[in-house]
Amino acid sequence: MINSAAIRVGNGTPVFNVKIDVNNLKISIKDVCSRMSNGTQSLDAHFYEIINEIFAHLSEKCRIRAGYVICPADFNLTSNRKSKVGNIHFNMGKIVTSQLKNAVQMAVFACTIGPDMENWSRHSMEQDNPAESYLIDRTASVLTEKAVDYLHEYIGGEMAKQNLLITNRYSPGYCDWPVSDQHLLFSLFPHNFCGIRLNASALMHPIKSVSGVIGIGPDVEFKEYMCNRCRIKECTYRRKHVKNTNTIIRGIAL
Amino acid sequence: MSELIKQIAYCIERGKVNKMSPFPNDMKEQPGTDELTKQAIEEGIGPDVILEACNDGMQKVGDKFGRNEVFVPELLMAAKAMNAVMEHLKPFFAAGNLKVKGKFVLGTVAGDLHDIGKNLVSMVVEGNGWQVIDLGVDVKTEKFISAVKENPGCAVGLSALLTTTMANMEKTVSAIREECPSVKIIVGGAPVTMNSAKRMGADGYSPDPQGAVTFLNQSVSIG
């Protein structure tokens, strides 16, 4: 079951910590293998055995931490396309700003599955088990996305109780929103929120973490992602959202 | 090509490491590259011929990968099978009977912590007879430049998984160009395309590890 507990930090901003049980995320072999098949053949039995072994350890290896803060939002500062969330001015860019412009509040969220899966994957690679290492990493990525989906849905449910609607979620680094704004976003959280820290390049540790914003208000709506308007033509998500393509997104860094 | 060499190439293509390995399912209990390479050396087959089997096997699995007939796990198993061959060939490299084709400085660019694809490239390139200097992940431009200066004649491979770190990749390519104009640079990673590679001034792009080997073999003078 999911539940949350609100605490208030020094400046009075309510902080909600949401408990998410990995067993509720219902990860399947199909989820992990979605990018490893051309639809006409299945993976070798050996890989299914590895994935089942990984699944058997998820309760022990995934320490999901998720939470959000609710901040007032002001998008009437359109002259330079900057937006204000809490007391922070963001440079979210045209696409994100246009999607969030009717929001009166913002759920600023973070979610991580913790460091154990990435450490396990690294250890496996060091032990000369590269396929197992890859499958652990892949499972961790899928779990992270599922955990954030769950958090998103939870926030939507909480807002619905107040007759408020929510938008899609947006993260620094996507849809033309500079990743450097990640530091500003984290300034809205209490110190060490969810155990996530940022490095100088604005990357999160643990790696399997997601942060971002969700617009809240009576007049916001959930929309299709607008990849055709983004100037980043090579974005992985653009490829994912393009319909009628047979391209397999390999999801590996070469 | 002798039957034994063909078998080694086939085991690499299928990712069969040794007799104990349960992968692939249809080759259980059969010898893998480990046993077959040992046998080939004992029979006096030249290490250069065995190395050719590596190239042949990796080329075939790389082609399958390009046609979406196999995926990352199979490619990783193939690389592992090839590395089992390389373990047996190490003494020949050490004795000078086999020479490395050249040096390849490799790393994931600053701001990016992903390493699975980079490691895959490293394994495949090394298995094709190149010495890989793996700088790791989140590698700053200065570190790439230092490594290039310390390894004259090397080629450079830059990896990125995040769309946002492609900007860092471009900066790194420019900086290496400025400091070391003659060095050959290849880029890759999920968000990278041939067009973006050209735009950032790289000499090559590959969507898969075998393409990196082809680039190195064709573009870098082997000495």
Q: Are A216 and A159 in contact (CB under 8 A)?
A: yes
- Assess whether pLDDT exceeds 50 at residue B95: yes
Percent of chain A with pLDDT over 70: 79
A1: confidence class by pLDDT, cuts 50, 70, 90: very low
Report the residue of B14, B25, B67, B71 to disrupt the A interface, i.e. the one with the largest count of A CBs within 10 Å.
B71
| Chain-chain contact of A250 with B190 (C-beta, under 8 angstroms) | yes
Structural domain includes residue A69: yes
What pLDDT, on the 0 to 100 scale, is given for residue A234? 57
DSSP B208: S
| Chain-chain contact of B119 with A125 (C-beta, under 8 angstroms) | yes
Q: Are A42 and A27 in contact (CB under 8 A)?
A: no
Which fold is adopted by the domain B103-219? Rossmann fold (3.40.50)
Residues of chain B with C-beta less than 8 angstroms from the C-beta of A235: 163, 191
- Assess whether pLDDT exceeds 70 at residue A241: no
Residues of chain A with C-beta less than 8 angstroms from the C-beta of B192: 234, 254
Structural domain includes residue A244: no
In chain A, the number of structural domains is 1
At A26, the amino acid letter reads K
Q: Which domain holds residue A150?
A: 3-224
**CATH code at B3-95:** 1.10.1240.10
| Chain-chain contact of A179 with B164 (C-beta, under 8 angstroms) | yes
Task: Indicate the residue of B77, B114, B162 with minimum beta-carbon distance to A131.
Answer: B77
pLDDT tens profile B11-29? 999 999 999 999 999 999 9
Looking at the complex, does the CB of residue B169 fall below 8 Å from at least one CB of chain A? no
What pLDDT, on the 0 to 100 scale, is given for residue A221? 84
B82: confidence class by pLDDT, cuts 50, 70, 90: very high
Residues 16-75 of B with CB under 8 A from A: 22-25, 68-69, 71-74
Phi/psi region, residue B52 (left: phi>0; alpha: psi -120 to 50; beta: rest), is: alpha
pLDDT tens profile A205-234? 999 999 999 999 999 988 766 666 666 655
What pLDDT, on the 0 to 100 scale, is given for residue A243? 42
Phi, psi of B58 (to 5 degrees): -70, -35
- ipTM for this model: 0.83
Looking at the complex, does the CB of residue B120 fall below 8 Å from at least one CB of chain A? yes
A247: confidence class by pLDDT, cuts 50, 70, 90: very low
Hey, is B140 helix, strand or coil? Answer: coil
Which residues, 6+ apart, have CB-to-CB distance to B171 below 8 Å?
Answer: B141
Cα–Cα distance for residue pair A72/A79, rounded to 1 Å: 19
Residues of chain B with C-beta less than 8 angstroms from the C-beta of A232: 163
**Which CATH number do you get for residue A8?**
3.40.109.40
Structural domain includes residue A147: yes
Cα–Cα distance for residue pair A207/B139, rounded to 1 Å: 16
Domain boundaries along the sequence of chain B: 3-95, 103-219
- Assess whether pLDDT exceeds 90 at residue B124: no
HSE (side-chain half, CA atoms, 13 Å) at B160: 28
Q: How far is CA B128 from CA A47, B8, B57, B89, B131, in A?
A: 26, 14, 10, 12, 9
pLDDT tens profile A110-159? 999 999 999 999 999 889 899 999 999 999 999 999 999 999 999 999 99
Domain B3-95 and domain B103-219 have a common topology? no
| Chain-chain contact of B71 with A199 (C-beta, under 8 angstroms) | no
| Chain-chain contact of B111 with A203 (C-beta, under 8 angstroms) | yes
Structural domain includes residue A111: yes
| Chain-chain contact of B74 with A44 (C-beta, under 8 angstroms) | yes
What pLDDT, on the 0 to 100 scale, is given for residue A124? 94
Looking at the complex, does the CB of residue B146 fall below 8 Å from at least one CB of chain A? no
Give the residue-averaged pLDDT of A14-36.
90
Stretch (H or E) spanning B10: helix B3-14
Give the residue-averaged pLDDT of B133-145.
95
Task: Indicate the residue of B76, B110, B115 with minimum beta-carbon distance to A131.
Answer: B76
More confident residue, B66 or B45: B45
A39: confidence class by pLDDT, cuts 50, 70, 90: low
